[in-house]
Amino acid sequence: MKLSKENISQIDNALFKKFGVFYYDVRLEIVDHLASELEQMEGDFEEISPVFLNNKSDFIKETNLQLNNAGSRWSKIVLFKNIFSIKYLLTFIVVVFFSYNLISLKGKEWFLEYFDFMPIILPAPISIFLLYEIFSSKRKSYILPFAGITNTILMTYLFIFIHIIRKADVFYFVGIFSFFMTLALAYYYMYFFSVRQHFKENNLLKL
């Protein structure tokens, strides 16, 4: 049986509407597998596909869960691997140096007035972009956990650590501020380079 683009689209729609496979990258993996099996069969697509998909129900659910877990696991690995990387440490040192010297020149009150919200403001564009992808038809399985974990860490700055640095000595203040500022800067790199590169080059089932 030779499948047309329309047939592939029908399988994709069935996975989304009937089986609840919401993530685009996961559907691509499952569609590819199902299409390969269907092409080995004889008969009419319209007659065979409903029965075939029902028979594959357990496989679809199991693979969907497996790929979702793999995407979630990888997003966490990317985040924490980058936080403990040499690049992150070097960026952290640069931010510490910049912050400490700026405070020495302008004073802590001036620095807080103009910079204390920067770890929240700086990643706002990428957060908006990720929010769009989460609700788009082509949302991917690693987007939600990656955005969720990173933004949760950044939110702890807004609700907890910003109040600490406003009262802390400069030594502690600079260290805390610089960590979150570095994370805000690294957010862009981690998404556009690390995450995208991994899912471009690797099959989730191999994780």
Average pLDDT over residues 161-188: 92
Give the per-residue pLDDT at 107: 94
> Hey, what are 117's tokens?
């919200």
Cβ-based neighbours of 202, under 8 Å, separated by 6 or more: none
CA dihedral 200, 201, 203, 204 (to 10 degrees): -60
Q: Kindly tell me if the per-residue pLDDT of 81 is higher than 70.
A: yes
Among 87, 103, 79, 47, which Cα is nearest to 154's?
79
Q: What does pTM read for this prediction?
A: 0.77
For helices 45-55 and 24-38, the axis angle rounded to 10 degrees is: 120
Q: Which amino acid is at 122?
A: L
Phi first, then psi: what are they for 186, rounded to 5°?
-70, -20
What one-character-per-residue DSSP string does 21-87 give?
---HHHHHHHHHHHHHHHTTS-S-HHHHHHHHHHHTHHHHHHHHHHHHHHHHHHHHHHHHHHHTSHH
Average pLDDT, the chain: 87
Query: 3-state DSSP call for residue 197?
Result: helix
State the pLDDT at residue 52: 93
The band of 164, judged by pLDDT with boundaries at 50, 70 and 90, is very high
**Integer-rounded Cα radius of gyration of the chain:** 23
DSSP 176: H
pLDDT-derived band at 202 (thresholds 50, 70, 90) equals low
Mean pLDDT (whole number) for 48-61: 93
Check residue 206 and give its pLDDT.
38
CA–CA dist 171, 185 (Å, integer): 21
pLDDT in tens, 99-138: 999 999 999 999 999 999 999 999 999 888 877 877 776 7
